[in-house]
Structure formats: structure tokens, C-alpha cells
């Protein structure tokens, strides 16, 4: 057995340089593989950082663009709503003026000026339908006259004249809004 042990020791001694060389080669290959893997990992991490920065920059730009569009939409809506509010206030003021004129006329219709106004409406109606027209005051709450002549009839409410006069005052009325 000793001979076997001696032969094994001699074989091991003879193979030791080859085994050491193979181990050195394996260690070198492993070190090269680890270095390559580390380099690849570092490159991958750097690529991921660059991609993440690009994605973040894109998201920021998209967010800024979306915020810009939202702001424009909000400003447009606010302007439209403001304009609608102004127009509504102007419409209400104009209607209040119109109703005030009607109320003033209604309060004075039995006065000499109101009777003169109705007489002028009578003349206007007869001029349209003829001198034989029957003219009477409107009985539906409006101020004005109704004229009939046979199959023809004509209503002359003062509303039309008020609207006409207010339209003629348009520039002065709109100057009040400025």
C-alpha cells in the first residue's frame, strides 16, 4: 500500500503544476467574467439612469404642457363666464330701463301728455287703415291702440316705439357700461 501511496504522491506532485495552472486559468477567467459582469451592470445602471432621467424630463414636459393647456382652458372659461355675467347684467339693466319707461308711461297715461300720446297713436293707426277705422285703446294691459276697418286690423302698442327710441339711444346706453 505504501507503493500505491508513494505513486499517488509522485503523481500528485507531477500534476501539481498543471493543476495550479488550470486553477490560475479558472481564477483568471472568473475574474474576467466578474469584471465583465460588473462593467455590464455599471453600463446597465447608467443606461437605466439616463432612461429614467429622459422619462422624468418627458413626464415633466408633459405635465407642464398639460398644466399650460389646463390653465388656458380655465382662463378661457373664466373669460367666457365673465363676459356672460357682464352681458347678463347689461341685459338686466336694459330691461330695467325699458320696464321703467313703461311704468312711467303707465303712470302718466291719464295725464294730458298720456292722452296726447294716445291721440298720436290714433292718428298713426288711421293713417295706416284709413279715416273710417274704428280706434280703441288696447284692453290687455298694454299701452296703445287697436284699429279695425272691415277685415283689416292693426295694433299699435307703445312698446314698439319705446324699443325704437331705446335702440336710437344705443350709443348712450352702451356708454354706461364702459
Q: What is the pLDDT along the chain (178 residues), one digit of tens a residue?
A: 677 777 777 766 776 777 777 777 778 877 787 788 788 888 888 888 888 888 888 889 888 888 888 899 998 999 999 889 888 888 888 888 888 888 888 888 889 998 898 899 999 999 999 999 999 999 888 889 999 998 899 998 988 888 888 888 888 877 877 7
Residue 167 burial (CB count, 10 A): 9
Measured in whole angstroms, the distance separating CA 97 from the mean position of its chain's CA atoms is 33
Give this prediction's pTM: 0.55
Judgement on whether residues 8 and 48 belong to the same structural domain of the protein: yes
Judgement on whether residues 118 and 83 belong to the same structural domain of the protein: no
The three-state secondary structure class of 94 is helix
The residue length of the chain stands at 178
Longest CA–CA span in the chain (Å) reads 161
Please tell me the predicted confidence (pLDDT) of residue 27. Answer: 80
- 102 falls within a domain: no
- Of 29, 56, 87, at which residue does a domain stop? 87
Judgement on whether residues 57 and 4 belong to the same structural domain of the protein: yes
Strand partners, 155: 146
| Number of domains composing the chain | 2
Domain housing 33: 1-87
Please tell me the predicted confidence (pLDDT) of residue 12. Answer: 67
- 134 falls within a domain: yes
- Of 87, 118, 137, at which residue does a domain stop? 87
Please tell me the predicted confidence (pLDDT) of residue 44. Answer: 82
Judgement on whether residues 116 and 81 belong to the same structural domain of the protein: no
The three-state secondary structure class of 143 is coil
Judgement on whether residues 83 and 115 belong to the same structural domain of the protein: no
Amino acid at each position: 500500500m505504501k507503493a500505491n501511496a508513494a505513486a499517488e504522491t509522485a503523481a500528485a506532485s507531477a500534476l501539481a503544476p498543471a493543476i495550479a495552472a488550470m486553477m490560475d486559468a479558472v481564477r483568471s477567467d472568473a475574474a474576467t467574467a466578474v469584471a465583465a459582469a460588473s462593467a455590464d451592470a455599471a453600463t446597465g445602471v447608467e443606461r437605466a439612469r439616463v432612461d429614467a432621467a429622459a422619462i422624468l424630463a418627458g413626464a415633466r414636459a408633459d405635465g407642464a404642457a398639460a398644466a399650460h393647456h389646463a390653465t388656458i382652458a380655465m382662463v378661457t372659461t373664466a373669460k367666457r363666464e365673465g363676459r356672460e355675467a357682464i352681458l347678463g347684467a347689461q341685459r338686466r339693466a336694459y330691461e330695467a330701463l325699458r320696464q321703467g319707461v313703461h311704468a312711467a308711461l303707465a303712470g302718466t297715461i291719464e295725464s294730458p301728455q298720456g292722452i296726447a300720446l294716445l291721440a298720436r297713436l290714433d292718428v298713426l293707426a288711421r293713417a295706416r287703415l284709413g279715416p273710417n277705422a274704428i280706434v280703441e285703446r288696447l284692453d290687455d294691459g298694454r299701452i296703445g291702440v287697436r284699429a279695425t276697418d272691415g277685415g283689416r286690423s292693426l295694433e299699435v302698442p307703445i312698446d314698439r316705439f319705446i324699443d325704437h327710441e331705446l335702440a336710437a339711444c344705443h350709443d348712450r346706453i352702451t356708454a354706461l357700461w364702459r
